[in-house]
Copies of this chain bind each other. A is one copy, B any other.
Amino acid sequence: MNNITIQVLADTLKISKSSVSKALRDSHEISTETKKKVLALAAKLNYSPNPYASSLRKKKSKTIAVVMPEIADSFFSLVINGIQSVAEKKGYHVLIYLSHEKYSNEKNILNEIHNGRVDGLLISISRETKNSDHIKRLQLAGVPIVFFDREIESIHTASVITNDFECGYIATKLLLDKGCKRPVFFSHSASLQICKKRAEGFRLALKKEGYNKKDIQIVYGTDNEKDNDTLIKKSLSAKKRPDAILASVEKLAIQVYMASQELDIEIPGELKVLAFSNIETASILNPPLSTITQPAFEIGKTAATILFKGIEKKHFKLENEKIIIPSVLIERKSTGN
């Protein structure tokens, strides 16, 4: 606890207290520039909401919000089940909001949450999210926040993630051990931390085998299925086509299977495939898909458990909770097992 008040922020910035309040609430009356200054200073001085705001917070809504990119993905639906297993016992409602991978949606959702609707937030950011002011603002309003899977490292709060870098490395190592010479990493984002870390692991494994930078191939997908299909087919039709694909997400792996079927490329004979995925049908696909299986349910359960500590315990420090739950590599036929 410190004694940084709205008054201190106002005095330092030489603006009115009411302007500071409005900036913290993202009011349209305040310019973007001023809002940025207020948020930056509040973060720098470690401003926390005043006792009045805290007492308001005690009017528990008995509701937490989960904001995530999508649900048509086995990882996120399992996370939700993990979250709800904890919330149910606590007698809390869970509101699920989907950003559909759009920053603008995510921002709108967080503004909505702002009016005391929820006691806490679990969030996995959209692929577009680079600016984090919308999250900082909620944090400054005293709402406990826990990131899961996709975090923003510059925001000091709890996060529950998996060992993406290590898994990128192990997965690539497996493909090389199986004799692959031209592995390609298909990533669904160039900016998300989880994808960057997986790509780093991929790069390191290849570098250790003596690959030059220019021979390390990473293809970045978009959020458009058709575009990705075109990208995949282009890659698989190239003269020097890949003999292995590591997919950062199951959607891409499914598309690789479909494209291979269409182009008559045999998995695993001509192409080995490995994906970051919790897909239920992995073992009954043709051929069974090797996966880096993320501890999705555990991630949800752990994130919710920490969030409730943040909600219920007065002096619990969320920023000390950085939890990494490791994923598991499961070899199946798609990597020639």
Contact = CB atoms under 8 A, between A and B. Distances in A.
Contacts of A258: 283-284
A88 B88 CA distance: 29
B109 A93 contact: yes
Interface residues of A, number: 34
Contact of A71 (B71, B105, B108, B109): B71
B71 A77 contact: yes
Interface string A72-114: 1010011011001000100001111110100001001100100
A184 to B, nearest CB: 20
Nearest to A283: B258
A77 B251 CA distance: 14
A40 interface: no
A258 B284 CA distance: 7
A286 B257 CA distance: 12
Given A93-B109, A279-B281, A284-B261, A100 B77 contact: no
A105 B283 CA distance: 33
A97 B98 contact: no
Contacts of A100: 84
Contact of A286 (B63, B254, B280, B287): B287
A200 B97 CA distance: 37
A265 interface: no
A13 interface: no
Interface of A: 63, 71-72, 74, 77-78, 80-81, 84, 88, 93-98, 100, 105, 108-109, 112, 254, 257-258, 261, 279-281, 283-288
21 contacts: A71-B71, A71-B77, A71-B80, A72-B74, A72-B81, A93-B97, A93-B109, A93-B112, A94-B98, A96-B96, A96-B97, A254-B281, A254-B284, A257-B281, A258-B283, A258-B284, A261-B283, A261-B284, A285-B285, A285-B286, A286-B288
The 8 closest A-B pairs by CB, nearest first: A286-B286, A72-B77, A96-B96, A257-B284, A71-B71, A71-B77, A281-B281, A95-B95
